Amino acid sequence: MERTIISNIKNTISNGDYFIDGAFLSGERVEIEIEVNSICDILLDNLKDIKDLNIVINQDSNVRLSFIAEDEMKSSNINITVKNNATLNGYFADFAEKTLDLHCKVNLVEEGATCTYKVASLTAGDDRKTVDISIDHVSPKTYGKFDCYGICKDNGKILVDGTSHVFKGAIKSKAQQNSKIMVFDESSDATVKPVLKIDENDLQASHGAVVGKINDEHLFYLTSRGLSVETAKELITWGYLNPILEGFKEEDVKAHISSLIERRM
């Protein structure tokens, strides 16, 4: 199926595949509303050139939002509202260079709203990155899950700020966070803040965060088969970041992301 290019500032869309080129909508505040009971696949590139992106996902719709960061990305804001029994599956492949400052807020405003959000991030060579994802559980029986896998190396610095907020009244909701950042060298620095704000009693919530160096046993295993330390690290990096490709539909986009990972390794 061909992707329909979104080139308007205000859009109402239904079933189908869509492409948003941020460069085309430079400096604008873009609004997208997904009609009830739709299945959509939205691919977003060059987000840095959009000022704000606001998405409303209406009742019973299912949306995959995949986006790639490859250049510098200063202060980008995404706001997503998920309504009754609608689902958002977000995938963010972050291979941006130098600066990345992403703020994404997902509001699960009505009962049964669901959000999963996966991030793969490679921070290297003097990069300074902030990935701020917050999921607000406003209504009962909402589900939010945030996973972040990152590699930080060569004087890179990254802050992953994940906040799950379960509001009063959002009973039987489930909030999960899981972040793992592997730091390759002493010059690099990674901080993960897995914040849970809980204003309700009847719910499930969990958060886990690991920032650590490469596993010595893994490195030994790979090098004991003749792989150099550099090759072993590349394989581990690849293995860490590669699963994000599942969030991208077209083979040429997957190949492009693969080439970004290879270039930055």
Partner 1 sequence: MSTLKINNLHATVDGKEILKGVNLEVSEGETVALLGPNGHGKSTLLSVIMGHPRYVVTEGTIYFDDKNILELSVDERSKLGLFLGMQAPSEIPGVINSDFLKAAVNARREKPISTYNFYKILDQATKELKMPFDLATRSLNEGFSGGEKKRNEILQMELLKPKLAMLDEIDSGLDVDAMQVVAEVINKEKAEGHGFLVISHYARLFDMIHPTRAVVMINGRIVLDGGPEIFKRIDQTGYEFIKTEYGINIEKEDLEMNKVSIGTCAVKESIK
| Residue 189 found at the interface with partner 1 (CB under 8 A) | yes
| Residue 223 found at the interface with partner 1 (CB under 8 A) | yes
| Residue 225 found at the interface with partner 1 (CB under 8 A) | yes
Q: 9, 28 in Cβ contact below 8 A? A: yes
The binder of partner 1 chosen from 86, 102, 133, 209 (CB under 8 A): 209
Least distance in angstroms from the C-beta of 179 to partner 1: 10
| Residue 255 found at the interface with partner 1 (CB under 8 A) | no
Using the minimum distance from each CB to partner 1, give the nearer residue, 19 or 238. Answer: 238
| Residue 243 found at the interface with partner 1 (CB under 8 A) | yes
| Residue whose pair of structure tokens reads 């869309």 in the numeric block | 13
Q: Which of 161, 149, 162 is nearest to 123 (CA)?
A: 149
**Interatomic CA distance for residues 240 and 121, integer angstroms:** 9
Q: Which of 135, 103, 140 is nearest to 117 (CA)?
A: 135
Stated as kind and residue range, the H or E segment containing 165 is strand 157-166
The binder of partner 1 chosen from 186, 216, 251, 252 (CB under 8 A): 216
> Kindly report the CA angle at 212 between 208 and 217, in degrees rounded to 5?
115
Give the chain's length.
265
Using the minimum distance from each CB to partner 1, give the nearer residue, 169 or 239. Answer: 239
Residues 134-163 as x/- pattern, contact with partner 1 by CB under 8 A: -----------------------xxx-x--
Residue type, 69: A
| Residue 103 found at the interface with partner 1 (CB under 8 A) | no
At 261, give phi and psi (nearest 5°).
Answer: -60, -45
The binder of partner 1 chosen from 15, 242, 249, 254 (CB under 8 A): 242
The binder of partner 1 chosen from 14, 227, 249, 265 (CB under 8 A): 227
Among the residues of the chain, which ranges form H helices? 216-223, 229-241, 251-264
Q: Which of 10, 114, 98 is nearest to 54 (CA)?
A: 10
The binder of partner 1 chosen from 186, 217, 251, 252 (CB under 8 A): 217
Give 69's strand partners.
94
CA distances from 30 to 2, 40, 125, 235, 257 (A): 22, 17, 32, 38, 25
| Residue 221 found at the interface with partner 1 (CB under 8 A) | yes
Please identify, among the stretches 15-23, 25-33, 102-110, 224-232, the one whose residues bind partner 1 according to the rule CB under 8 A.
224-232
Using the minimum distance from each CB to partner 1, give the nearer residue, 32 or 166. Answer: 166
Using the minimum distance from each CB to partner 1, give the nearer residue, 193 or 256. Answer: 193
Is beta strand 73-82 parallel, antiparallel or unpaired with respect to 50-57?
parallel
Using the minimum distance from each CB to partner 1, give the nearer residue, 48 or 233. Answer: 233
* Site residues (vs partner 1, CB under 8 A): 128-130, 157-159, 161, 189, 191-195, 207, 209, 215-218, 220-229, 231, 235-236, 238-243
